[in-house]
Amino acid sequence: MTRPFDGRRILLGVTGGIAAYKSAWIARLLSQAGAAVDVVLTRSASEFIGPITFEALTGRPVFTALIAEGHALDHIKLARAADAVVVAPATADFIARAANGQADELLTACLLAATAPVLIVPAMNDRMWAHRQTRANVVHLRELGYTVLDPDEGPLAVGEGAGPGRLPEPDAIVAHVARLIEPPNGLRGKRVVVTAGPTREPVDPVRFLSNRSSGKMGVAIAAAAWRRGADVTLVAGPLAVAPPTGPTILAVETTEQMRAAVEDAIRSADALIMAAAPADFRPAAPADQKIKKSSAPSAIELAPTTDILATTIAARPEGLVTVGFALETNSALEHGRAKLAAKQLDLIVVNDATEPGAGFATDTNRVTFVGRDGQVEDQPLMQKGEVADLILDRVERLIHGR
């Protein structure tokens, strides 16, 4: 991920909880995405993880003291330079002090001096998270305009069992930071439905027909649309990798289940991006019991599955922008143009499954856009996240051109 982190400055605050070890990975991910990361450690955080770790991961000095010779105005300089402030983990003690506007150490002083958006990511024991005072402090922070995530549920410190209080995973936190700093755009507040992955058509209770789709392209589109501020529904067949956070995921297995989910989801949507690879055929008569090798049929009769884009034409609300994909192995552009017309699409994304780096289960893609006006735009080989943003740029223009 480079958008929207290139050239941006992120202030990462780390407070004194056992989850501080995850903060190192957050710093790493932010730096890899292109951000300049300034790390501020509280005194108690330094008991869990040292400044040298963050300096090695970010290539930048780490800040720990509010009052130090030559650093008297660090809290002002850091706050002014930041495009976003992220506190992860945020302990119950830090949340209480931040909610009361205290500035007795560097990190809380930075918060008071900051005008950039602030993301607070709590992590603590489940009883501490459930306490009325903590809940009241969180409500107040949100009233101040801070974004405060709810902690994840799961195993806590040794001997404490499981419950709500775990720090969300670093990739999910970074996704929230990206949404926080994404520049204003035409998708904010829009409803977008994206499909991803293959479908599975049962042969018997344990076997199925499917294809090689990993769902990476659709997941990249859904994640990018959510990052850009859209309300995203991801209708997903079996996925190799799901987005870390954000989109509402509707899991389906068969093509017919995907069709029904899409038809329902688009009723209040602004855009449908059909990036899934639903099966084109299904066994005409699936077996009720597992087919034994000794009695296997010599052939399996196939029947066509539902054509999702064609059958949902009547269900599309007025003004819905509809984008399809054409994954071909020959005459890709010709087949793409035919699909654009037959499915009444606004845009079709054409790619050749035989081209190196552009087929199934890769992190890259090379596509050609064909618009309803006949305009053809060839794109170079690039990361699927970059392709996703190019598609969404065009979806924005289509939405606001109506």
CB 344 within 8 A of CB 314: no
Model pLDDT, residue 1:
58
Partners of 119 in beta bridges: 86, 147
Model pLDDT, residue 146:
98
Question: How far is residue 169's CA from residue 173's CA, in Å, rounded to a whole number?
Answer: 6
In sequence order, which residues have a C-beta less than 8 Å from that of residue 236 and are 6 or more positions away? Answer: 195, 196, 197, 215, 218, 219, 242, 249, 250, 251, 252, 276
Question: How far is residue 318's CA from residue 102's CA, in Å, rounded to a whole number?
Answer: 52
Dihedral sign for Cα 342, 348, 353, 355, please: positive
User: Residue length, the chain?
Assistant: 402
CB 186 within 8 A of CB 159: no
Q: Options 3.30.830.10, 3.40.50.1950, 3.40.630.30, 3.30.559.10; which CATH number does 9-181 get?
A: 3.40.50.1950
Rounded to 5 degrees, what are φ and ψ at 248? -80, 125
Per-residue H/E/C for the chain:
CCCCCCCCEEEEEECCCCCHHHHHHHHHHHHHCCCEEEEEECCCHHHHCCHHHHHHHHCCCEECCCCCCCCCCHHHHHHHHCCEEEEEEECHHHHHHHHCCCCCCHHHHHHHHCCCCEEEEECCCHHHHHCHHHHHHHHHHHHCCCEECCCEEEECCCCCCEEEEECCCHHHHHHHHHHHHCCCCCCCCCEEEEEECECCEEEECCEEECCCCCCHHHHHHHHHHHHCCCEEEEEECCCCCCCCCCCEEEECCCHHHHHHHHHHHHHHCCEEEECCECCCEEECCCCCCCCCHHHCCCCCCEEECCCHHHHCHHHCCCCCEEEEEEEECCCHHHHHHHHHHHCCCCEEEEEECCCCCCCCCCCEECCEEEECCCCEEECCCEEHHHHHHHHHHHHHHHHHCC
Range(s) of the chain covered by CATH 3.40.50.10300 = 191-400
Model pLDDT, residue 70:
64
Question: How far is residue 391's CA from residue 348's CA, in Å, rounded to a whole number?
Answer: 10
C-alpha closest to that of 181 among 330, 10, 357: 10
On the question of a cis peptide bond just before residue 243, with omega within 30 degrees of 0, the verdict is no
Model pLDDT, residue 358:
84
Answer yes or no: 185 catalytic: no
* Tokens of residue 400, six digits: 């606001």
> Residue holding tokens 């990511």?
121
Partners of 307 in beta bridges: none
CB 8 within 8 A of CB 34: yes
> Residue holding tokens 């003690």?
93
| pLDDT tens-digit profile, the chain (402 residues) | 578 999 999 999 999 999 999 999 999 999 999 999 999 999 999 999 999 999 999 999 999 988 776 666 788 999 999 999 999 999 999 999 999 999 999 999 999 999 999 999 999 999 999 999 999 999 999 999 999 999 998 877 656 667 788 999 999 999 999 999 999 899 999 999 999 999 999 999 999 999 999 999 999 999 999 999 999 999 999 987 889 899 999 999 999 999 999 999 999 999 999 999 999 999 999 999 999 988 888 999 999 999 999 999 999 999 999 999 999 889 989 999 999 999 999 999 999 888 888 878 889 999 999 999 999 999 999 999 999 999 999 999 999 986
Tell me which of 211, 330, 351, 365 is the catalytic residue. Answer: 211
Query: 349-377: b or e for each residue (b if 16 or more CB lie within 10 Å)?
Result: bbbbeeeeebbeebebbbbbbbeeeeeee
CB 16 within 8 A of CB 91: yes
Model pLDDT, residue 6:
94
CATH 3.40.50.10300 for domain 191-400, yes or no, is: yes
> Residue holding tokens 């845009």?
347
pTM of the model: 0.93
Question: How far is residue 108's CA from residue 93's CA, in Å, rounded to a whole number?
Answer: 11
Question: How far is residue 339's CA from residue 346's CA, in Å, rounded to a whole number?
Answer: 11
Range(s) of the chain covered by CATH 3.40.50.1950 = 9-181
Model pLDDT, residue 225:
98
- Pairing between strand 162-166 and 9-14? unpaired
